Amino acid sequence: MSILRRIAVISRDPQIHDLAQEIAHEVFVADDLAEASDIVAAVTPDMMLFNGGVSPNHIRRFLEQTHRRVNSLPMSVVASLEPSPFSDREYEQAGVSHCLVGPENCRRLPEIAAQVRAAEQNGASEARHDDYFLDDRAAAIRMVGRSKAIRETLTMIQLVGESRCNPVLILGETGTGKEVAAQAIHQVRHPQEPFVAVNCAALTSTLLESELFGHVKGAFTSADRDKTGLLEQAGSGTLFLDEISEMPLELQAKLLRVLQERTFHKVGGVKDLTCEATIITSSNRNLKQEVREKRFRQDLYYRLNVCPIVLTPLRSPDRRADIPLLARYFLAHSDIRGSRPGQATAITKLALESLYQHDWPGNVRELRNVIERAILLERTGKIALDSIVIEHAEHEEARTGSVGERVRDFSLEKAERELIARALHETGWQKTQAASLLGITRATLYAKVKQYNIQKLPARQSDVCLSAPEPTEAEPILVG
């Protein structure tokens, strides 16, 4: 009895095909990973079944690339009737959920398929906890991402957090997560102590000094009582000075004295107090340039710049792969609609493509705003391209039109759709000939026709339909 709706099989072994037919209504077969990528994007299978001869490294790269294209990855399983040259551990590290080697283990496939089906019936469409975070450290501070940049950042956070480095400098563009990184260092170093944060750009020089150091009664006109400063409140924990480059020069000198002597006194006071806190500072500016332009003290810069942690912008090739992951995370965890029902739970491929193509000058913060805006605009269960509204400079909008128009005009998917439709028209809808003309397999062509809902018009019309109103069920690609 079939358990799953669809399964994608990456294997040439007919016995593996037979196993797949026992648990799924529709079986889509791929000879290689390139063809499998197209099938997964086109038909959204419930499971991907790999042959035991596919290397774990290739599977890992395939899953990473596929994750950027589709809203959520189907469960991946390796099944092999013959001994595999690779270990279960290697497949596990590559992201494979189950590794079934040998006839006896392969009999567990219906059991695993039943688990997938049960999860779907229970509405478990949200990505697993492990999908969002690289490890438990990242999960503890909600640092979403699995890219090379996130891995390097976490390594630096652990290195600095376990050291006695004090002060700590975090550098990065606006919205890259500098406060999240500061909290991560705090969690590594002294999680039971206070974490106190202040934005240096949000206060005037006088107010910032009073906030940092506190003041005694009568220190100035409105000082009608003693005030405990943030340095004192932080105790043995962490004081986070966000946007340190915005601190006035005269206050920079006082901060330098604290860092060097580890003592301070309140405004208007004479008693020295000991600073026991870890002081973490951040800046979205180039501090070297600020020093050259006399807006930041050189001695303070060198005092801060011991082991800086530099956060990678979202547009970097080393971090861009996290964009779809962040989008899905924000979608799953947003409460912007409040008690209003009907929030979207998924994102279309075209919408994800538009997010992936944007450079994100506002980084993670900007991406979160775009997703929350889309949640409010979307009226269906899946965020579509029309709900992705990204702000651009006025001249860019005037020159190129809206984001939706640009993505539609230059979308690879649109070009692919038109090419397939043209090939079908030229071959008179002989799908074998059309697949040969396009240089793809017949299975891939079937999947693409279903994905784009390409339909044949009546004989009196001279072209194929490129914009049918609603998708219909296409014939499945079965093996056997």
CATH number at residue 161: 3.40.50.300
Please count the structural domains in the chain: 4
* Mean pLDDT in residue range 266-291: 92
Q: Which whole-number Å values give the CA distances from 423 to 39, 403, 435, in the listed order?
A: 19, 29, 8
State how far the Cα of 438 lies from the Cα of 421, in Å rounded to an integer. Answer: 11
Let me know whether 164 and 296 are in one domain. Answer: yes
Q: Which of 23, 18, 15 is nearest to 45 (CA)?
A: 23
Let me know whether 406 and 422 are in one domain. Answer: no
Least confident window among 71-80, 112-121, 285-294, 308-317:
112-121
This model's pTM is above 0.75: no
Model pLDDT for residues 191-213, shown as the tens digit of each residue: 899 999 999 998 888 889 989 99
Q: Report H helices in 44-199.
A: 56-69, 88-94, 103-106, 109-121, 129-132, 136-140, 148-161, 178-189
The pLDDT of residue 137: 75
For residue 141, being part of any structural domain is answered with no
Q: Which of 182, 194, 185 is nearest to 232 (CA)?
A: 194
Let me know whether 99 and 242 are in one domain. Answer: no
pLDDT exceeds 80 at position 414: no
* Mean pLDDT in residue range 330-334: 87
The pLDDT of residue 290: 95
For residue 338, being part of any structural domain is answered with yes
Pairing of strands 263-264, 273-274: antiparallel
Of 379 and 263, more confident: 263
Q: Count other Cβ atoms within 10 Å, centred on residue 444.
A: 24
We report the CATH number of the domain holding residue 396 as 1.10.8.60
Q: Report H helices in 334-430.
A: 349-357, 363-377, 394-400, 403-410, 412-426
Confidence of residue 404 (pLDDT cuts 50, 70, 90): very low
For residue 316, being part of any structural domain is answered with no
CB 62 within 8 A of CB 25: no
Let me know whether 430 and 448 are in one domain. Answer: yes
* Mean pLDDT in residue range 136-146: 81
Cα-Cα-Cα-Cα torsion 391, 396, 400, 402, nearest 10 degrees, comes to: 20
Answer with the one of 124, 156, 171 that is the final residue of a domain.
124
Let me know whether 445 and 471 are in one domain. Answer: yes
State how far the Cα of 350 lies from the Cα of 355, in Å rounded to an integer. Answer: 9
CB 311 within 8 A of CB 171: yes
* Residues linked to residue 170 through DSSP beta bridges, in sequence order: 282, 309
Structural domain of residue 102, as residue ranges?
4-124
We report the CATH number of the domain holding residue 113 as 3.40.50.2300
Confidence of residue 40 (pLDDT cuts 50, 70, 90): confident
Answer with the one of 366, 381, 410 that is the final residue of a domain.
410
Of 474 and 327, more confident: 327
Let me know whether 214 and 272 are in one domain. Answer: yes
Let me know whether 65 and 166 are in one domain. Answer: no
Instruction: Find which of 1-5, 88-92, 342-346, 391-395 is predicted with most confidence, using mean pLDDT.
Output: 88-92
Let me know whether 187 and 285 are in one domain. Answer: yes
CB 390 within 8 A of CB 358: yes
Of 470 and 457, more confident: 457
Q: What is the mean pLDDT of the chain?
A: 82
pLDDT exceeds 90 at position 82: no
Let me know whether 380 and 281 are in one domain. Answer: no
The pLDDT of residue 130: 57
Q: Which whole-number Å values give the CA distances from 88 to 56, 99, 113, 192, 335, in the listed order?
A: 10, 6, 19, 39, 39
Let me know whether 93 and 197 are in one domain. Answer: no
Answer with the one of 410, 431, 455 that is the final residue of a domain.
410
* Mean pLDDT in residue range 259-270: 88
Q: Where does residue 136 fall: left (phi above 0), alpha (psi -120 to 50 degrees), or beta otherwise?
A: alpha
pLDDT exceeds 70 at position 8: yes
Edge to edge, the sheet with strand 168-171 lists 195-199, 238-242, 278-283, 168-171, 309-310
pLDDT exceeds 80 at position 140: no
The pLDDT of residue 394: 37
Let me know whether 157 and 305 are in one domain. Answer: yes
- Tokens 């004989």 found at: 459
Amino acid at 162: E
State how far the Cα of 30 lies from the Cα of 48, in Å rounded to an integer. Answer: 10
Let me know whether 175 and 273 are in one domain. Answer: yes
